[in-house]
Amino acid sequence: MNSKLSYEEFERIVQETIDGLPEEFRKALDERNIVIAVKDYPDAADPPSFIGGRVLGFYHGVPLRRRGATGYGLWPDRIVIYKSLIERYARTPVEIKALLRRVVLHEIGHFFGLSDVELRRLGY
């Protein structure tokens, strides 16, 4: 049976992961006012292919590499981390924390414009 973490613990790990980024990356996230949320499962607001899938997080937005001259979209970019799905694939609190950190970094990588192939090559 999986050990579970509270939402507060999940959010703390997300924040610690962001705080551990190099300053230029943290600054880019702050300047773009990116929203990072934790929820249990994908829902109607998420792409239909995610419901029931193995997606552990999702970046909603326009990657920095693809932005026009202004660099800003109509809405803030958003990263969603799926708590229950991460807990499904990790058995202990240590494994959950490691997987959560990896998922957060993976989704932040998408914000910066990295593809899944590039992120996998980097270990995310």
Output the domain CATH number for residue 47: 3.30.2010.20
Is position 32 within any domain?
yes
Beta-carbon contacts of residue 34 (< 8 Å; ≥ 6 apart): 61, 76, 77, 78, 79, 111
Q: Is residue 2 part of a domain?
A: no
Name the strand (E) or helix (H) holding 7.
Answer: helix 7-19
Instruction: Give me the pLDDT at residue 53, please.
Output: 61
Work out whether strand 78-82 and strand 35-39 pair parallel, antiparallel, or are unpaired: parallel
The per-residue pLDDT string of the chain (124 residues; one tens digit each, 9 = 90 and over) reads: 557 889 999 999 999 999 999 999 999 888 888 999 999 888 777 765 655 567 899 998 888 877 766 655 567 889 999 999 899 889 899 999 999 999 999 999 999 999 989 999 998 8
Is 111 inside a domain boundary?
Answer: yes
**Per the structure, how many domains does the chain have?**
1
Range of the domain at 97: 7-121
- Residue 1, domain member (yes or no): no
39 assigned to some structural domain: yes
